[in-house]
């Protein structure tokens, strides 16, 4: 098997090295990752300047672009054949609830899904680096189940798996839970202050989050010491709302206004 590995923390991050090590016994691993941190860039593509690629080893390429750029370039240009799986991570910090909308880690897996490749995003809650290396065997076991287990034949189409590891010693992990997305609420998400020149500035992301969600949501599982596995689909349509909105089709747009 051929595994494409990427992330949004950059190629030097311990998490991507742990992920590559976890997969190297299962098949061929090629790392195509940003050459610097590209966190919270969501699904952005670089359209307004050319991209540069630097090859460091036979199986590692650095891209001066986003995680989505990395997956697109790998599949369309760098790899001799389409990878069997895309693995993105291990992100230094959880991607729970609405985090998935902003996450470069999840978006890289989403790009793989768009390209028709089974894709998995993996993150470590709170990003405590002291545990990352210890997760090699746990992630390898998860990957074995994903790529060789009975579920591989029924990997859901147009769906990525978003995996969050609890921030604890891997030997203390209680198991896995298949979950739904929780909800994150920030208090005072924008910090306002004055710089030394007397000019006001704004810093997004300064508030501490609180979490909400029903039993079975991702953040509850992680906080309880479980690995959370959330299937995320590409189709964002609220299908249940369509019948309630059908009456809009009868509204005339040609009246006087």
Q: Which DSSP string corresponds to 132-151?
A: HGGGHHHHHHHHHHHHHSGG
Is the omega angle on the peptide bond into residue 171 within 30 degrees of 0, that is, cis? no
**Which two structure tokens, joined as six digits, stand for 145?**
């189940």
* Residue-level pLDDT at 255: 65
- Average pLDDT, integer, range 210-215: 80
Higher-confidence residue of 229 and 206: namely 229
Q: Where are the domains of the chain?
A: 2-182+213-237
pLDDT in tens, 95-148: 999 889 999 999 999 999 999 999 999 999 887 788 998 999 999 999 999 998
Across residues 193-206, what is the average pLDDT?
Answer: 89
Q: What is the DSSP letter of 125?
A: G
Range with the poorest average pLDDT among 79-83, 156-160, 183-187, 195-199? 183-187
Q: Does pLDDT of 92 surpass 60? A: yes
pLDDT at 232 > cutoff 70: yes
Characterize the bridge pairing of strands 226-233 and 190-194: unpaired
Q: Give the predicted TM-score (pTM) of the model.
A: 0.91
Question: What is the average pLDDT value for the chain, to the nearest integer?
Answer: 91
- In whole angstroms, what is the distance from residue 11 CA to residue 160 CA? 22
Q: Which fold has domain 2-182+213-237?
A: Stationary-phase Survival Protein Sure Homolog; Chain: A, (3.40.1210)
The whole-number pLDDT of residue 155 equals 81
Q: Find the mean pLDDT for residues 229-240.
A: 94
Q: What residues have CB less than 8 Å from 103, skipping those under 6 apart?
A: 8, 39, 40, 42, 91, 95, 121, 123
């Amino acid at each position: 098997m051929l595994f494409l590995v990427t992330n949004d923390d950059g190629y030097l991050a311990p998490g991507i090295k742990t992920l590559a090590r976890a997969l190297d016994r299962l098949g061929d691993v090629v790392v195509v990752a940003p050459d610097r941190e590209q966190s919270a860039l969501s699904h952005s593509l670089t359209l307004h300047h050319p991209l540069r690629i630097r090859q460091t080893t036979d199986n590692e390429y650095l891209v001066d672009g986003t995680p989505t750029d990395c997956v697109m370039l790998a599949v369309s240009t760098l790899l001799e054949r389409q990878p069997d799986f895309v693995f993105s991570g291990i992100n230094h910090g959880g991607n729970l609830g609405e985090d998935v909308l902003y996450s470069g880690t999840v978006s890289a897996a989403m790009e793989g899904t768009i390209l028709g490749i089974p894709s998995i995003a993996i993150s470590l809650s709170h990003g405590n680096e002291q545990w990352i290396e210890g997760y090699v065997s746990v992630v390898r076991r998860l990957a074995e189940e994903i790529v060789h287990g009975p579920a591989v034949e029924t990997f859901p189409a147009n769906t990525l798996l978003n995996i969050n590891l609890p921030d604890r010693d891997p030997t203390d992990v209680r198991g896995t839970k298949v979950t739904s997305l929780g909800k994150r609420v920030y208090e005072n998400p924008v910090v306002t202050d004055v710089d030394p020149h007397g000019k006001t500035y704004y810093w997004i992301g300064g508030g501490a989050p609180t979490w909400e969600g029903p039993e079975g949501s991702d953040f509850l599982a992680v906080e309880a010491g479980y690995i959370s596995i959330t299937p995320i689909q590409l189709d964002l349509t609220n299908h249940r709302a369509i019948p309630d909105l059908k009456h809009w089709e009868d509204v005339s747009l040609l009246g006087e206004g």
